[in-house]
Amino acid sequence: MLLKKVYTLVFIRNDTKILLGWKKRGFGVNQWNGFGGKLEPNETIQEAAVRELKEECCLSVKTADLRNIGHLEFTFEDDPVMMDVRVFSTNMYEGVPKETEEMCPKWFDLDRIPFDDMWPDDKFWFPYMLKNKLFYAKFHYKGFDTILHYNIEELESMEDFYAKKST
């Protein structure tokens, strides 16, 4: 039986750019990624997303301005823990991105996203996010560099998806 840990992933975007962070330590070190992490006790997924964004790049967002655009599930060979990742996107934020102990933020043109220095799965689901399409994807890895298999589906609504998933 798989154990499940819930994580958040937040992307700050506008019409031509996306903010990514260079991970300086911990899981995903030396890769570009969105901002996010684990939920704390008694914290909603949106509250965790807001907190993690603030901790990792000093930007503030309101939970109401976060759009839940995707749901990712990651499993790894010989690991009983599934990473259940809720992906959020917004173009409404306050502050200026600043480097922290964990992340170094940088804006990228949407046509110059550094996929070679990101998780291998990003190139598969980023196109959905960049086109503002809701999605659900599952990836099964061997180690952290090899995707053994995956599945992605476009969703009509996140609410319908979560309602079906809970039954």
What are 86-95's pLDDT values in tens digits?
Answer: 999 999 999 9
Check residue 109 and give its pLDDT.
98
**pTM for this prediction:** 0.94
pLDDT digits (tens, 9 = 90+) for 10-56: 999 998 999 999 999 988 999 999 999 999 999 999 999 999 999 99
60 pLDDT band (50/70/90 cuts)?
A: very high
Q: Which residues lie below 8 Å from residue 149, measured CB to CB, with a gap of 6+?
A: 139, 140
Q: Which CATH number fits domain 3-165: 3.40.50.300, 3.30.1330.10, 3.90.79.10, 1.10.3720.10?
A: 3.90.79.10
Query: What would the pLDDT profile of 101-134 be if each residue is shown by its tens digit?
Result: 999 999 999 999 999 999 999 999 999 999 999 9
Residue 72 near residue 55 (C-beta atoms within 8 A)? no
CA distance 93 to 67: 13
Rounded Cα gap, residues 140 and 15, in angstroms? 32
Lowest model confidence (mean pLDDT) among 12-26, 96-110, 135-149, 153-167? 153-167
Q: Side chain identity at 116, as an amino acid letter?
A: D
Q: Distance between CA 7 and CA 41 in Å, rounded?
A: 12
Does residue 98 register a pLDDT over 70? yes
Write down the pLDDT at residue 167: 66
